[in-house]
Structure 1
Amino acid sequence: MNRLYSALYETAMVAALLAGALVLWQLGVAVFRPPAIILPAPTDIWAEFISSPGFFLRMAAFTLYTTLAGFALAVVLGLVLAVGIVHSKFLERTVYTLLVALNSVPKVALAPLFVIWMGTGIEPKIAIALMLALFSVVIDAVLGLRTVDPDMVNLARASRASTFDILRKIRLPNALPSIFAGLKVAISFALVGAIVGEFVAGSEGLGFAILTAQGQFDTPRVFVCLFLLGLLGTVLFYVVEAVETLLLPWHVSKRAVPGSDH
């Protein structure tokens, strides 16, 4: 119960801070009167959203779908690669090194290649979201799979446990906290990748809406898209965290601290 009250209190505090920031923003615009093309008031941004909510929600739904598709592929492919890298020196020297090198290249520079290879549909956007999210999943999954107690692995081998059994019953449960840390980073990167894809070759999505609004110098529309992106990113992050809490209630980071209200 204390944890529930604490969560509600923290949510109320965040809401109050955001509301205070919006009030200060509104007052600042009223006092200093900057041109609307530079900084519109929150009321103007809200009016822009209310004028065509269907358009903005459709754009947000497209971006959300692209993000989730790229993230899901990154999770599946990343975990498979991590398991292979942990169990194969060859994959560690080749695939792992290739991923590190690929991650060092600016993704915006690679995005046009995906458009050339896959066209201007949704496929290159999903591929870019996958590419941005993949590295975080692989790195944290490899770290978690490797940081298992060697004595536990040796004991399992002495008991004639197979490699698959050791992976399923020892390595993977031990790696879950590290994997979820990577997933929380990856979901944000997947959203960035989806927007990058829409910037490069988009006809739908929040990234495309931002580009068209920029061409028309429609600053309130740009801010509406930015607020929706911030909302999407926040919700997706906390959904992953909620799944982590559900699956890992035993982890130290999810336990109540003695002497606190959490």
Structure 2
Amino acid sequence: MLISFFKNLTAHGIQYSLIILLLIIWQMVIGFGLLPDYLLPSPMQIVKAFIDDFYLLMSHAKYTLITAFLGTIIGLILSFVLSILMDLSKNFRQMVYPILLLNQTIPTIAIAPLLVIWLGYGILPKVVLVVLSVFFPMTIALVDGYNSVQKEQLNLFRSLKASHYQTYRHLKIPSSMGYFFTGLKVALSYALISAVVAEWLGGYHGLGVYMTRVRKSYELDNMFAVIFLISILTLILIGLVKLLERKLLAYQYQK
């Protein structure tokens, strides 16, 4: 375990060192005038823009996170319902799966304007877009998790005359949790991006609205500041999911 800890520490140290080196090179390129800062602001300019607009960014981030969370929760509920129905009926799965794939092939930026036209400029079209973006990876992950259950375990539950509810409650859903958390990490990254894209096209609050405003005034340092903020928020959310996964599935990490 100690050797594994030092290996992980070394790997993280190398990753952080590469990031720091990249930032130093970036700063030097701008500092020596090899690239004009009106095309690519330096890291120091981006940090300054972030600090100057910190409270405004946090205010907009609040609305984006609320949209992403609402869409993810609704998508999560739909995913559980749809995945169970697909697992219970092969015919239903064959009918619905192509529709799910078709939904995934439609670019988010293409459907967002239609949702704004149909549903207005409030939070509803943004939540709907997040739902459409996140429920596919979670549904497929859960279906794969149900299919991973061994036949011997299913036969045991059948021999004990377990109901569908008992089978899912005590066997299939617990067995699919590893797949579920994998899908959830992907879904959360989609959720924030989808919320921001929807905010680009209409609304009054959110990081997408902020990006639209600073883009029109050519404030690239603020643009990069909000881009990095979105990346940081996504990493934090994925990190929280990993912590929850380790806590709920501790037995898997002890192997």
TM-score between both structures, scaled by the size of structure 1: 0.90
Amino acid at match of 2:67: T
Amino acid at match of 1:56: L
Q: Contact 2:30/2:37 (CA < 8 Å) preserved in 1?
A: no
Match of 1:83 in 2: 84
* Alignment pair present for 1:55 and 2:62: no
Match of 1:66 in 2: 67
Q: Deviations over 1:227-259 (max 9, x none)?
A: 1011011111111111111111122xx346xxx
Distance 1:9 1:128 in 2: 40
Match of 2:153 in 1: 152
Structure 2 residue matching 1:204: 3-state secondary structure: coil
Distance 1:132 1:13 in 2: 34
Structure 1's unaligned 5+ residue stretches are 257-262
Distance 2:57 2:107 in 1: 29
Q: How far did residue 90 of structure 1 move?
A: 4.1
Distance 2:126 2:5 in 1: 39
Q: Deviations over 1:40-75 (max 9, x none)?
A: 111111121222211111122221221122111111
* Alignment pair present for 1:224 and 2:225: yes
Match of 1:129 in 2: 130
Q: Deviations over 1:6-47 (max 9, x none)?
A: 666555544433322222211111123422220111111112
Match of 2:237 in 1: 236
Match of 2:100 in 1: 99
**Number of residue pairs matched by the alignment:** 254
1:99-248 → structure 2 map (5 Å cutoff): 99-248=100-249
Q: How far did residue 97 of structure 1 move?
A: 2.7
Distance 1:201 1:154 in 2: 53
Using the TM superposition, name which of 217-226 and 194-203 deviates more.
Answer: 194-203
Q: How far did residue 78 of structure 1 move?
A: 0.7
Amino acid at match of 1:146: N
TM-score between both structures, scaled by the size of structure 2: 0.92
Describe the shift of the 1:6–1:238 C-alpha distance in structure 2 as closer, same or farther (beyond 3 A): farther
Q: Contact 1:130/1:193 (CA < 8 Å) preserved in 2?
A: no
Q: Contact 1:62/1:205 (CA < 8 Å) preserved in 2?
A: yes
Amino acid at match of 2:134: A
Structure 2's unaligned 5+ residue stretches are none
Distance 1:9 1:71 in 2: 35
Amino acid at match of 2:225: V
Distance 1:61 1:33 in 2: 37
Distance 1:41 1:59 in 2: 24
